[in-house]
């Protein structure tokens, strides 16, 4: 069947039909108009027509076929005290281990980032940790509801595996419950604080993005970044974000003062006329790095799913150029291959 660069038309029909049975209802706020969420002062002006224009004019750069990884991580069961270990599972999935807790971000073990598992963007590498090798998971953080970040089949597996606390922005709990009512998730607004243990809390923070699972539920669920506060230093996770004007990042720096580690996306940014609202390029990642006070940084959101025109190798090439321009010393920004782990210095 005819396709629009990787999306068969029947998959687009699936997007049109996909929806949740219920939508978030709550009080209006500076980022919720009573029906839909938004970034204050930054209206989203790209609709389905823009999406079709991109697909019909796409200039897809080279991606490899499916290959195994050179290594697969076998993380320890726990990492205690102020030690901090991160494992890059792939795309936006990172295992964070510190203070005796195991925290997974945007977990996706599915073969495709798509509403169906027989069409749509497919992974080019396996996850960097085999599911059977995962330690017990205490907390799952979901940044938003796009299919490359909220994978319901993986959440179901994790629920059966560990019964973790699942922290989501407002409205995303309804998507999970609609899939499986047995899965318990907790939904929070920007500015909320979620105590996890005596040593660690999760702060739900703004990020510059948008949401949709289909064509009729745009921005009916919130998106968020997360800051983990610990005695060993703060950890900032951004699953997906446009740069905007950088104010969200500068606000985070002012609020939390310093970050031991920032986990920030760098991929899927071409064509920029369409992607810039929701995805940062490596130069914008380096602006974020500056806004956050130049913390140690783990780049993510590249090298796993071909979601844009950006080529497989392009994000890391552009990142190296941006690092040279910003004079970043060795060991501060550490790109990991999927399957690699890193003990982050304090």
Q: Go through the domains of the chain in sequence order and give each one's CATH number.
A: 70-343 (3.60.15.10)
What pLDDT score does 18 carry? 58
Beta bridge partners of 159: none
Could you tell me the mean pLDDT of each successive run of 10 residues in the chain, 346 residues long? 40 53 92 97 76 72 94 98 98 98 98 88 97 98 98 98 98 97 98 98 97 92 98 97 96 98 96 88 97 98 95 97 94 97 96
- Please check whether residue 18 is in contact with residue 213, taking contact to mean a CB–CB distance below 8 angstroms: yes
Looking at residue 271, what is its pLDDT? 85
**95: nearest Cα among 193, 205, 237:** 237
Residue 281's pLDDT is what? Answer: 97
| 264 touches 235 (CB < 8 A) | no
Q: pLDDT tens digits, residue range 9-44?
A: 444 555 555 556 689 999 999 999 999 999 999 888
Tokens of 260: 């031991």
pLDDT at 7: 44
Q: According to the model, what pLDDT value does residue 184 have?
A: 98
| 327 close to 288: Cβ distance less than 8 angstroms | no
Residues in the chain: 346
């Amino acid at each position: 069947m005819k396709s629009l660069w990787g999306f068969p038309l029947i998959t687009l029909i699936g997007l049109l039909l996909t929806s949740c049975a219920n939508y978030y209802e709550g009080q209006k706020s500076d980022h919720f108009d009573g029906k839909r969420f938004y970034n204050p002062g930054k209206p989203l002006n790209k609709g389905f027509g823009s999406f079709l224009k991109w697909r019909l004019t796409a200039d897809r750069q080279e991606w490899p076929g499916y290959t195994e990884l050179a290594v697969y991580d076998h993380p320890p069961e726990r990492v205690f005290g102020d030690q901090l270990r991160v494992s890059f599972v792939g795309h936006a999935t990172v295992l964070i281990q510190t203070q005796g807790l195991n925290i997974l971000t945007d977990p996706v073990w599915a073969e495709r980032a798509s509403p169906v598992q027989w069409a749509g963007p497919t992974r080019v590498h396996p996850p960097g940790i085999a599911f059977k090798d995962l330690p017990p998971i205490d907390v799952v953080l979901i940044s938003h509801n796009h299919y490359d970040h909220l994978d319901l089949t993986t959440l179901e597996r994790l629920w059966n595996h560990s019964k973790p606390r699942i922290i989501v922005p407002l409205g995303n709990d309804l998507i999970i419950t609609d899939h499986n009512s047995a899965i318990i998730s907790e939904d929070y607004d920007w500015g909320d604080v979620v105590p996890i243990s005596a040593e660690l809390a999760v702060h739900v923070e703004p990020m510059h993005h948008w949401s949709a699972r289909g064509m009729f539920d745009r921005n009916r669920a919130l998106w968020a970044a997360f800051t983990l506060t610990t005695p060993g230093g703060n950890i900032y996770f951004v699953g997906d974000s446009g740069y905007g004007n950088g104010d969200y990042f500068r606000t985070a720096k002012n609020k939390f003062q310093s970050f031991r580690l920032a986990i920030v996306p760098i991929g899927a940014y071409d064509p920029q006329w369409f992607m810039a609202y929701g995805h940062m390029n490596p130069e914008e990642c380096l602006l974020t790095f500056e806004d956050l006070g130049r913390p140690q940084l783990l780049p993510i959101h590249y090298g796993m799913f071909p979601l844009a025109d950006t080529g497989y190798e392009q994000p890391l090439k552009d990142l190296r150029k941006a690092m040279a321009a910003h004079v970043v010393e060795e060991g501060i920004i550490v790109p990991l291959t999927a399957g690699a782990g890193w003990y982050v210095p304090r």
